[in-house]
Structure 1
């Protein structure tokens, strides 16, 4: 479902227009919804969807590695040597996973769109006026109807894991999140969407990346960084609450009612992804993995790690290799005995709740359930790193601190 921004969108822009110098003092929150199809109507895991999601998540990260080298001239330290320089792939083709989306507005006069807020990428794109039939049902961005749009004279092409593409033209325009406006923001107007962007698969109109500029396909400042550089936010931070109810993205600060206690911060290793070092991972109270290099990604549902580390973790908690029943990299456990797993950042341990760790039974009536931490052989071939998605992030309040280049975690209120 979509969240309508009644008060936030209609009232705050009027206040900002009346007192323009106060725009830099605002911290604004956006309600966000989730779309998920990793389980069927009976709560049983969709094995095909799970496999697709893992492949897509890893492909997105590898795609970002190639963009990092293109933009900086140096390979990312976690990229596989044989993958350096390749065009890579981005995982929005047939992404059956979970995405978090809310509303933004673009252009003058402003038009409202829903976008997937993704900390694992850096660019904004929407369906353009010449988009194919796969854009049916989405709200179209038409730069000709916006007085603040500018044709940048460039094109973009993104290659997907199934060989299809999304392509279009580059424009700049005013992009607003809950009334905070980034002017001259680069965005893509797609002339082609793959079938994975069809309304039934991808309810949002487009995607808004929130990682660093070094991953940008457009070689342009991401939306949030533009807001910061133009002095629109009171603090150079944004924060997510990803939960079963009351989920929100907070721009320019944090929502003190959404968390308790202090934040535990971890410095970003390299400003590309929001990539940090996790102190340790505990299984059933025993720490078995230490100094885990991980990418914090709201655009990934699962937690994905290298084969050796994931296997070691499940050996601690009593998981069973489910390569033959679910697929390579997946593990199962008795549904009535969900493993207790915690992640530690800056000395504080954050448990993963049984409801998020347990993806659901393998089949109707099965005593075996699938774990939300999975392994990828592709990650294992590279310098080891983990992708930490919503299986963990749904249990914490997460702040992305662009000013200090760090990520912080706190307990949910």
Structure 2
């Protein structure tokens, strides 16, 4: 990839890569923000077949990640998380921007630096979890192709004296020891940030399956497996940002993570804000959905988690099936968790938050043909098979259509139309 950038005396250039969906878009450069760096991105071509098994694993990973957060929440707070529901499966200095780019994976990821002297790594920026981990120099499995972090090579590294182990729904695990060190994103440094140094990556985190080196969680401390402040909260506590907001543009082009506020060049109009109903995840409610102007009537209030680390929109099976009844020819896919529908369907699908409806474009809803030459495509709305789970996970299929603000200080989420 060829990089171009506008330099800033305050902030460093930190490239970010992102989830690719099957639509070709011509990229037109946007004005650079007041500080930070803009990096071009590319998308794979229209109509590319997708791997249903990979999407099914992606759904399983997202649901298992939420389960793990439930466990951490109860361990950290002493009370069960309300969404856990008894499921048996429960197991200036002020701103900086980090541009996003795409590579055909189901992740949004980019560069950070860690340690003294600073060393560059890539991480998946994930609002559905709260911890940072990297492969360690002593990693014994599946770390080939990743850049290792060696705490002994950093003068600011400290051993926290404890271990960690993170399990995922597809059997993937990450385990190792906890350390703290200085972590920098877009020129903003969190001093003494907690991080996991992995000695074990399972197959799901091998470089062929997981291109970034590690993961940076951007939710709240109450679901941290380390019970430590996440990176952005550390920035707030240390006075590194004047505004306790970070924002994402996860659109098909010109994508960006912005730290310490919002980037006015990337959205239009005003924000619609919805409150965080329980700090832990970025959890809120959505009002309704519609397909081609026809509202979908759900029986209950729709709790949801806004998660940049999830590809699809994922909901309870019965409610997802109800949405697909409005799409002629739709039917369950060959893998649990996904639906397929005629590729020719181009009608608008909307989600309403705080009384404002936002449209999911046909291009982002269509994840690609079920196989090459097929007239059936995979829909961007998947389902959770566990009947005990009655919440939604709102992933990139929706988030690519809006500019999203995550306001830690006011405990709210804002959505605005893209510029």
Into which bin does the TM-score normalised by the smaller protein fall?
A: 0.7 to 0.9
Verify the 8 A CA contact 1:267 1:407 in the aligned structure 2: yes
Q: Deviations over 1:233-279 (max 9, x none)?
A: 12000000012221110000111000000000110110010011111
Matching of residue 411 in structure 1 with residue 409 in structure 2: no
> Residue 69 of structure 2 is aligned with which of 56, 64, 67?
64
Q: Which moved more, 1:308-317 or 1:118-127?
A: 308-317
Aligned to 1:33: 17
Following TM superposition, by how much is the alpha carbon of 1:12 offset from its aligned partner in structure 2, in angstroms? 2.3
What is the CA RMSD across the aligned residues, in angstroms?
2.3
Verify the 8 A CA contact 1:5 1:103 in the aligned structure 2: no
Matching of residue 306 in structure 1 with residue 311 in structure 2: no
Structure 1 residues 312 and 394 mapped into 2: Cα distance closer, same or farther (>3 Å)? same
Structure 1 residues 410 and 367 mapped into 2: Cα distance closer, same or farther (>3 Å)? same
Residue ranges of structure 1 left out of the alignment (5+ in a row): 15-28, 89-95
**Aligned residue pairs, count:** 384
Alignment of 1:228-307 (within 5 A): 228-289=236-297, 291-307=301-317
Aligned to 1:223: 231
Aligned to 2:407: 401
Verify the 8 A CA contact 1:338 1:358 in the aligned structure 2: no
Q: Deviations over 1:338-368 (max 9, x none)?
A: 3421011111111000001111122222222
Aligned to 1:12: 10
Alignment of 1:326-405 (within 5 A): 326-378=334-386, 380-382=387-389, 384-405=390-411
Verify the 8 A CA contact 1:360 1:370 in the aligned structure 2: yes
Give distance in 2, aligned partners of 1:54 and 1:136: 25
SS of structure 1 residue aligned to 2:216: strand
Verify the 8 A CA contact 1:123 1:210 in the aligned structure 2: yes
Q: Deviations over 1:11-65 (max 9, x none)?
A: 4259xxxxxxxxxxxxxx9552115599998711212112111111111111111
Give distance in 2, aligned partners of 1:13 and 1:369: 42
Verify the 8 A CA contact 1:357 1:373 in the aligned structure 2: yes
Following TM superposition, by how much is the alpha carbon of 1:133 offset from its aligned partner in structure 2, in angstroms? 4.5
Q: Deviations over 1:172-196 (max 9, x none)?
A: 1111111111111111111111122
Any runs of at least 4 consecutive aligned residues in structure 1 with deviations exceeding 4 A, and if so which? 1-6, 35-42
Verify the 8 A CA contact 1:319 1:331 in the aligned structure 2: no
Q: Looking at secondary structure, tell me which structure has more helix per residue.
A: 1
Structure 1 residues 275 and 30 mapped into 2: Cα distance closer, same or farther (>3 Å)? farther
SS of structure 2 residue aligned to 1:201: coil
Following TM superposition, by how much is the alpha carbon of 1:203 offset from its aligned partner in structure 2, in angstroms? 1.4
- TM-score normalized with structure 2 length: 0.86
> Residue 76 of structure 1 is aligned with which of 72, 81, 84?
81
Residue ranges of structure 2 left out of the alignment (5+ in a row): 24-43, 92-103
